[in-house]
Homo-oligomer: A and B are copies of this chain.
Amino acid sequence: MIVLITGGAGFLGQRLARRLLELGTLAGPDRRPERIRRIVLADTAAATIEDPRVVSLTGDVADPDFVRSIVEPGTTSVFHLAAVVSGQAEADFDLGLRVNIDATRLLLEACRRLAAPPRFVFTSSVAVFGGPLPTPVPETWTLNPQNSYGTQKAIGELLVNDYSRKGFIDGRAVRLPTITVRPGRPNKAASSFASGIIREPLAGEIAHCPVPPETPIWVSSPRSAIEHLLQAHDAPASAFGTSRSLNTPGLSVTAGEMVATLERVAGRDVASRVRWEIDEAVASIVTRWPARLETVRAEAMGMKPEPDFESIVRAYIAGE
């Protein structure tokens, strides 16, 4: 197997690569586990993983020459994680189009030119949903994104579906929940606070929560998200039915419950470092996202959420 991960130097990309190295195999075209002999990590920055099976390639995923260079002959699996995140896609419309649509098309075209169609796992988002939403959101609910990131992810999903139907790739578009707790620093995602309100207080820093405490958020741990990407990769095409787009399991928690959990796990002093300061730009994006999704097909593929948010906080503390 030759595995390509775009956004491969990012938090999720490197974590996925490490998990693949640990596992050593992925389902091949006939669904039997096959040995991973090479992992290509493509990103704007170099990845930091040292392993003879890993190569790190730096460039712009919206540059046609770079995209052709990262899709090596014999590539069997692609995890397309590279994206401009929600807050940034909203602030820079053209950049969002370029990376979230144009780069995805370049990558799909490069895959189409491979001798055999690769498995292609595309990370989509719950931001494809919007407008008045029932709880939970059914699997057949319309795509009605209320921000540019969600629009661009929905377009990516549609392309992945059509390229799969045509037999150019064997695609899966996975609608990941908001991932928390991410290590490191805040990013430009509107959901960045969902990690910040746990991570910063634990590090002794003040965190600002830009949404009201009663705001529900659909979340997943990094560990679950990685497992779900791998399960989506390995599942047979037939498990997807007529749509390659998939809601994956998560937990529905409010910002207030997240901070209450932090207090329970780490104490009142830590939790008191969260300041509630509503940011209308962020809140107007986040409060339009769905709070809970139906995940019937994903569950049938064996995907499970974390048991509760406390497990997510404890796993983060244990891992850092």
Q: Is A241 an interface residue (CB 8 A)?
A: yes
Q: How far is the CB of A246 from chain B (nearest CB, A)?
A: 12
Q: How far is the CB of A163 from chain B (nearest CB, A)?
A: 9
Asked if B93 and A166 sit within 8 Å, CB to CB, the answer is yes
Q: How far is the CA of A140 from the CA of B242 in the complex (A)?
A: 18
Closest to A112 in B: B93
Task: Please provide the chain A residues from 131 to 159 with a CB less than 8 Å away from any CB of chain B in the complex.
Answer: 131-132, 139-148, 151, 154-155, 158-159
Q: How far is the CA of A154 from the CA of B245 in the complex (A)?
A: 15
Closest to A244 in B: B144
Give 1 or 0 for each of A68-107: 1 = CB within 8 Å of chain B CB. Answer: 0000000000000000000000000100010000000100
Q: Is A180 an interface residue (CB 8 A)?
A: no
Residues on B with C-beta less than 8 A from A162 are: 145, 148, 151
Q: How far is the CA of A55 from the CA of B27 in the complex (A)?
A: 59
Closest to A166 in B: B93
Which of B97, B105, B158 is close to A143, meaning CB atoms less than 8 Å apart? B158
Asked if A158 and B166 sit within 8 Å, CB to CB, the answer is no
Closest to A161 in B: B151
Q: How far is the CB of A176 from chain B (nearest CB, A)?
A: 18
Q: How far is the CA of A141 from the CA of B243 in the complex (A)?
A: 13
Asked if B166 and A242 sit within 8 Å, CB to CB, the answer is no
Q: Is A165 an interface residue (CB 8 A)?
A: yes
Closest to A97 in B: B105
Residues on B with C-beta less than 8 A from A161 are: 144-145, 151
Q: Is A130 an interface residue (CB 8 A)?
A: yes
Residues on B with C-beta less than 8 A from A97 are: 105
Known: A151-B161, A162-B151. A241 touches B143 (CB 8 A): no
Which of B140, B151, B166 is close to A159, meaning CB atoms less than 8 Å apart? B151
Q: How far is the CB of A293 from chain B (nearest CB, A)?
A: 12
Q: How far is the CB of A262 from chain B (nearest CB, A)?
A: 34
Asked if B140 and A141 sit within 8 Å, CB to CB, the answer is yes
Which of B93, B105, B151, B242 is close to A158, meaning CB atoms less than 8 Å apart? B151
Q: How far is the CB of A280 from chain B (nearest CB, A)?
A: 16
Residues on B with C-beta less than 8 A from A154 are: 143, 158
Q: How far is the CB of A43 from chain B (nearest CB, A)?
A: 26
Closest to A168 in B: B93
Asked if B243 and A144 sit within 8 Å, CB to CB, the answer is yes
Q: How far is the CA of A103 from the CA of B159 in the complex (A)?
A: 16
Residues on B with C-beta less than 8 A from A143 are: 142-143, 154, 158
Closest to A94 in B: B109
Q: How far is the CA of A162 from the CA of B152 in the complex (A)?
A: 9
Q: How far is the CA of A154 from the CA of B241 in the complex (A)?
A: 19
Q: How far is the CA of A241 from the CA of B143 in the complex (A)?
A: 14
Residues on B with C-beta less than 8 A from A166 are: 93, 148
5 chain-A/chain-B pairs, Cβ below 8 angstroms: A97-B105, A131-B241, A140-B142, A143-B154, A151-B159
Apart from the given pairs A144-B242, A145-B161, A154-B158, 9 other A-B contacts in the complex at a CB distance below 8 Å: A131-B241, A139-B142, A142-B142, A143-B143, A143-B158, A144-B161, A145-B162, A151-B158, A158-B158
